[in-house]
Amino acid sequence: MFSKPTEPRSIASQLVLRFTPAAAFLLFCALGVLYWIVVRHAFEEDNDVLADKILALSADVIKSDAGQILERELKNVRPGERVAYWVRMVDPAGRLLAETPGMSDSLPPRIFPAAQSLSDWKPKDYRRDGQLYSLVAVTEEVGGQRYTLQVAQDRSSDERFMKQFGALLVVVLAFGIVASAVIARRVAKDGLQSLSAMTQSLKRIGPRHLHERIPPGGWPRELQPLATAFDEMLARLEDSFTRLSQFSADLAHELRTPIANIRGEAEVALTRPRTPDEYREVIHSTVAECERLSEIVDNLLFLARAEAAEGNVQRTSFDGRAAIEKITAFYEAIAEEQGVTLTCAGEGEIRADPMLFGRALSNLVENALRFTPAGGTILISLLVRAAHSEISVKDSGSGIGAEHLPRVFDRFYRADSSRSSHGSGLGLALVKSITDLHGGSATIKSEVGHGTTMTLTFPNGQD
């Protein structure tokens, strides 16, 4: 069985899943630091109080001749009474001199750490019956003899405070995580409202509404580039759709003409019996129209393959002058018949696909011959530069009006009606496709009455 593909998460849920752990981590760190500071401060405060108590007890021991005052003070404590400090005094022989009543039962001498000097002591934690004590043992010299003071501080209240404070911080952390998720969800939802509004705007756009645009001014700064990109995409789609519609209309018109001619001639021929010569003439005319149809189909197929090739052409370096002279020799007889002088100039190597280069240049020369009157000239020149090679075809024909120049490379476009009977209107479009395949360009300069110059550019770089 095939498992059902997992549905991708929404942007809002992804933002929540990213924001909530980040907020929880920061909150955890902040509360952890707060807990550490408060607890440390509380224990340091207790240590300071314990140190003051030890100093006071040591002073009493010195002043009272081995702690007689201390002994009397400790005897005043009632048995079972809860005290904050437990005190025991031991003589140099280890005999007990005085202690807080009941101390031996809860805190025997053996559990205390080794006696330390008054200036260098450290407390020892001890737990008994759920109570936490800090135990300290210090020595004090009186009359040449060293006595030991054992002091225990009850820190159970501090421990309870620590637990209560920790539980409170855990509750705050849990509430903060939930609040972070809710806030993140709300912020993400509010932030994505603009994207939802843009989606609704895009849904209204269809084939008949490609002229509509998404004004970028009303969107957040992050969505303005997206709105601009959509507008540019719509402009390209509108242009492509318009060109496709025009191309379809032009293609139907171009195919309809030869088909109508073939059908008309055939119908006329069938209206009555004809002589063999008349049938032969009809067949010749039909063959000519079929050749015209074949040329249109071949050119369209080439253009389609060129658009699908994505620049994958076989570039080689070859002698440009030799290639130009070969094409010149092919059209020289036609030029002489029309009374047109055909010459070439320049030399150098060209890096391109030889077959495609020859087809592009042949189209330009054929186009120039078609519109150059008797006595005119056609010059094919080659100029090799560092980055690219330029091949130009300059004729002294009638020229093209400036208003037609932007569209001369469009398919089936003809500059004027006088040229409608010549060719299929695909020659220059084919030339433009060839130069685009090579990463080059095709440009035109023309002036009515002064001729036309077509220039092809082929890069010299490696593939």
Which among 80, 293, 42 is positioned nearest to 162, based on CA atoms? 42
355 DSSP 8-state letter: H
Rounded Cα–Cα distance for residues 48 and 54 (Å): 10
pLDDT of residue 419: 41
DSSP state of 438: T
| C-beta separation of 134 from 123 below 8 A | yes
C-alpha torsion sign, points 318, 322, 325, 326:
negative
Sign, CA torsion 116/121/123/124: negative
Q: Which of 145, 53, 141 is nearest to 93 (CA)?
A: 145
pLDDT digits (tens, 9 = 90+) for 44-55: 887 777 777 777
Residues of the chain with pLDDT under 50: 1-2, 417-421
Q: What is the CA radius of gyration of the chain?
A: 51
**Model pLDDT, residue 417:** 43
pTM passes above 0.85: no
List for the chain the helix, strand, coil content (%; round to 5): 55, 20, 25
Q: Which long-range contacts (CB under 8 A, 24 or more apart) does 159-166 make?
A: 159/132, 161/42, 162/39, 162/42, 165/35, 165/38, 165/39, 166/35
Q: Which domains does the chain have, with CATH numbers?
A: 11-178 (3.30.450.20), 224-305 (1.10.287.130), 312-459 (3.30.565.10)
The residue to which tokens 């789609």 are assigned: 237
